[in-house]
Amino acid sequence: MSEKLNELKEKLGEVSDLGSAAALLGWDQQVNMPSGGAEARGRHMATLGKVIQEKFTSDEVGRLLEDTKQELSGADADSDDAAMVRVAARNYDKAKRVPTEFVVEQAIVSAKAFEAWIEARSKSDFSIFRPHLEKVVELVHQYVSFFPPADHPYDILLDDYEPGMKTSDVKAIFEPLRTKQVKLIKAISSRKQVKDDFLHKNYNEKKLWDFGVDIVTKYGYDWTRGRQDKAPHPFEQSMSVNDVRITTRYEKDNPIALIFSSMHEAGHAMYEQGINPAYERTSLANGTSLAVHESQSRMWENLVGRSLPFWEHFFPKFKKTFPSQLDGVSLKSFYKAINKVEPSLIRVNADEATYNLHVMLRLELEIAMVEGSVAIKDLPELWNTKMQEYLGIIPPNDSMGVLQDVHWSGGAIGYFSTYALGNLVSAQLWEKINKDVKNLDDQICRGDFSQLLGWLRTNIHQHGHKYDPQVLVEKVTGSRITSEPYVRYLTKKYSEIYGL
């Protein structure tokens, strides 16, 4: 390895170390920090962020990137070093385009917008949030202006989360999907609804927690390189490939969501735990995109965790753990209940059949905001119109409508689509896995997930950020991201459950 490459790796390694420190500060803020610590923590994170930005965008890093790119231009483009430099150079170019003052202004505007959103949601009064959202969108326009013109301004935003993906790609994927999902939901709604009252009884939190731990341990989540804590909103956080933590929560009115959150976050975490350890401290040491990340979490939560084979294995023990709650409930009834389809107002609680429609709705509004084709003041009404159109229900107030998600308050515009893309990728991978791994259902029935995890390790996890998402998906499945496997998956699953 050349001296310059070594030097570059050391510089970027330090940036990565500081990023890991920042990650821990964020994790602690959600999990442990006493309320009094919030203000100081904000400052600590701002200072650390500034140092990271300074170190990463230094002229020295720029020169080393240029030099190593040249050095590697003749080398194997598929080598780890080439990928590392390519990804780092792309991130560097983006970071350089955005002035530090802008980053600071955006942080301030977001902080205020977040406060306003909290109040607006609690009072269900969009007018409180509106001026802040206008400012947020103004900054988004400014952000876009730092980059060379793209086919669509939304491309710039999307690219930060889904490298290489275009707005037109997403639209082309979602257009046919929406029609099919709406049709599926209509078909389901004409059938007899499944019973799920037994899921909403009183379930002991500690017992659910232990059951979730048991499941993700069987999945292959490595506790010597992770831990699980409680947090208001479940999330996964990686401090290094050897320290990847998950969180979950107990909701009184939806208790068993606790174990599905554990499965979901463990899906994210096993991805990070499976990255080639040689990538540690480089630009390759994370999942390649939000969509591919979400494909992992949704696979372990839904394709595995809400499948019949899975519960064939776990239901007897689950019933033993909660005998009174599940008295007289058969495996089949339980399976149907955890897969109940019901158009609902809140995305995070939506079932597999309706979830993507929530996402598409937001994507359409985001694109309209970025294009300037909708005035911010008209968002609540547009939201409700689309809810009626896609899901057949209208929110009784804006708290349960346009104000329900935190994302826009934080200036995070551009990544909603990755939630739905993740579902699609999960099904795409699933079809391929079931070709490669014989009798996967039988293995799952036995509580054996080792071949499944092994396949994911080999085909997805180890590569980290080496391949762009579309490249990786095509490399593994033979096709770029497409909705067909997911539609096949949904149709088959719900045809059986609802007798379509």
Judged by the rule CB under 8 A, the positions of this chain that interact with a copy of itself are: 13-14, 17-18, 20-22, 24-25, 28, 32-37, 39-41, 43-44, 46-48, 50-51, 55, 222-227, 239-243, 245, 280-281
CA atoms within 13 A on the CB side of 171: 11
CB-based contact 290:162 (threshold 8 Å): yes
Q: How far apart are CA 196 and CA 192, in angstroms?
A: 13
- Please report where in the chains the tokens 């385009």 appear, as a residue: 97
Q: Catalytic one among 162, 265, 352, 366?
A: 265
Please list the helix, strand and coil fractions of the chain in percent, rounded to the nearest 5, in that order: 70, 5, 30
302 secondary structure, DSSP code:
I
Quick one: angle between helices 167-189 and 352-371, nearest 10? 140
CB-based contact 369:376 (threshold 8 Å): yes
265 counts as catalytic: yes
Which residue, 146 or 223, is less far from a copy of itself as judged by CB? 223
Amino acid identity of residue 469, one-letter, is: P
Q: How far is the CB of 97 from a copy of itself (least distance, A)?
A: 24
Taking phi first (over 0 means left), then psi (-120 to 50 degrees means alpha), and beta for anything else, what does residue 280 get? beta
Q: How far apart are CA 46 and CA 105, in angstroms?
A: 12
Q: How far is the CB of 18 from a copy of itself (least distance, A)?
A: 6
Which residue, 22 or 456, is less far from a copy of itself as judged by CB? 22
- Please report where in the chains the tokens 């689309």 appear, as a residue: 386
Output the DSSP codes for 223-272: GGG--EEE-SS--EEEEETTEEEEEE---TTSTTHHHHHHHHHHHHHHHH
Which residue, 18 or 445, is less far from a copy of itself as judged by CB? 18
Q: How far apart are CA 406 and CA 30, in angstroms?
A: 15
**Number of neighbouring beta carbons within 10 Å of residue 295:** 31
Rounded to 5 degrees, φ, ψ at 230 are -85, 145
The contacts of residue 330 (CB under 8 Å, 6+ apart) are none
Q: How far is the CB of 107 from a copy of itself (least distance, A)?
A: 14
Active site residues: 265
